[in-house]
Amino acid sequence: MGLSLLLPRDDPRQSHRMKRFFMACKTSLIVVFLFVLYYRVGLLEFGALRNALAGMAAAIVVFYALLRSGVNQRFADPSLTVWMILAFTAVMLYVAWESHGERSLLVLIYLIPYMFGLFRLSSLQMLAPASVFLLGYALVLLKHGDSLSTTMLVLRWTVSAAVLLWFAVFAGYVAQLRKRLAHSNRDLQAALDHVHSIMAHDDLTGLYNRRRMNELLATEKTRCERGGDLFSVFILDLDRFKEINDGFGHAAGDEVLKGFAECMRHILRPSDFFGRIGGEEFLLLSTQTTLEGAMVLAERMRARCAAAGFPCLPQDWAVTVSIGVTQFRRGEAVDASLQRADSALYAAKQGGRNRVEMNA
């Protein structure tokens, strides 16, 4: 709970970077313990230990300020991983310079922060702090290696270089795996989006299908029951559509359905939900619309359909639509609203078609 208060809640990426930073801070406690152990066994003076710990604390404060303020996002790598490793490299080299022996063990300690770049950095990025460390380590060995033969000095440096080089090469391999995984995730997400689109839309018209419209009705009902505005429900049915299929073929019928859907799109608002729920039957969910407003909209839709031309049909053939309109009532089932709209549609058909009827 306490840690969550330190994380930026409005930026998931920054929050993730901060979590990685705090993980690095916790890991640094292991390094602190090892430095203290060096001091306790007499390999490090208290002043050097104090300076090393102060340097680590200062680095933590600076990096936290950069991350928390968002300044880190101006860098090529907003996680600042290379800079953090370089900061620890400086502390590590200072301790190696000031220690009284067993400096080769410090290379093992250095691997702890160095491995943080393994799953984040490329080979070239890993080589940057490694090169700085190896250069500094070479100076340390030259200054404090009087008791060792030249062969041992070269061997210690070469082993350290080989280990760090291997980590850098392996980081490149991991980076390639990350890229492949990211590419696979994008492909998978695109496939899932496509599947979701198929499941939610009618293949012919591109409108929502019955399943999706039922989901939207349930969602709008919940919103309305919680105090939202009422919504209106329309059921539309193209008049004498069977005559089009029988007289001009199913291909013409399909063109009429697609043309009707496109025609209605130009009238509806982005907040309206329009779907095909049967052969020539459509359902419209108009949000935040009173019954009076719904009747006005329905009449516009009826008139627009009657005036529209369909290239697949003779010029004197008018495609008309009958529409039943109702409004949702709080506390009722969605099916009850649909039944009222369907009754209104039946009245429109019985009244001569090409009509709008409502059932309040």
- Secondary structure letter of residue 72 according to DSSP: G
Token code pair at residue 309: 């031309």
Span between the terminal Cα atoms of the chain, in Å: 52
CA distance 118 to 134: 18
Catalytic residue among 262, 280, 332, 357: 280
At 94, is the secondary structure helix, strand, or coil? Answer: helix
| Catalytic status, residue 220 | no
Long-range contacts of 64-73 (CB under 8 A, 24+ apart): 64/21, 67/14, 67/17, 67/18, 67/21, 68/6, 68/8, 68/18, 70/8, 70/11, 70/14, 72/17, 73/14
DSSP-derived pairing of the beta strands 356-358 and 321-327:
parallel
Token code pair at residue 341: 């709209």
- Secondary structure letter of residue 71 according to DSSP: G
Residues labelled catalytic = 280
